[in-house]
Amino acid sequence: MDLTHKFLNIVLPIASIFLFIFILPLLSVYRLLRFCIRSLFPENLAGKVVLITGASAGIGEHLAYEYAKHGARLALVARREKVLGVVAEKAKELGSPDAIVIKADVSKLEDCKRFVDETINHFGKCEFHNFITSKH
């Protein structure tokens, strides 16, 4: 046990210094370059299918409008169907070629399966990305 502690007392400080001096700056430069490239060449969203949960208000509603401005086709999901219809109409006005409304509750597994299936059946596909959506 003492041998292990002596070894770690020698190796860990050296390894930590190495990481802070060499790896951390390289990682920071990589992230900065990636940010710059993504800013200069944004992803083309025209015609892509985006499924947004909690789309009747809050973050989900604003995501719908932003994607609509970029020409994405939208599958809007929320529990309040009437409000969702208004969001879909405004999204179409902002430039979305197609927006469907799906009444569902994301806390129910059956509803989740159903709205994914409805989206794929309507559009023939659905792009999956890591996005934050609102939950009401």
Q: Residue 117: what residue type?
A: D
pTM across the whole model: 0.67
Q: Are 63 and 91 in contact (CB under 8 A)?
A: no
13: containing domain: 1-42
Q: Is residue 2 part of a domain?
A: yes
What is the C-alpha R_g of the chain?
A: 23
What does the alpha-carbon distance between residue 79 and residue 77 come to, in Å, rounded to a whole number?
7
Question: Rounded mean pLDDT of the chain?
Answer: 88
Q: Is residue 17 part of a domain?
A: yes
Are 75 and 91 members of one domain? yes
**CATH number of domain containing 53:** 3.40.50.720
Are 74 and 38 members of one domain? no
Q: Is residue 98 part of a domain?
A: yes
Which helix or strand (DSSP H or E) is residue 101 part of?
Answer: strand 99-103
What does the alpha-carbon distance between residue 69 and residue 20 come to, in Å, rounded to a whole number?
42
For residue 9 the two structure tokens come to 């007392």
What does the alpha-carbon distance between residue 55 and residue 65 come to, in Å, rounded to a whole number?
10
Percentage of the chain with pLDDT > 70? 92
DSSP 106-123: TTSHHHHHHHHHHHHHHH
Ranges of residues in the chain whose predicted pLDDT is under 50: 130-136
Are 1 and 54 members of one domain? no
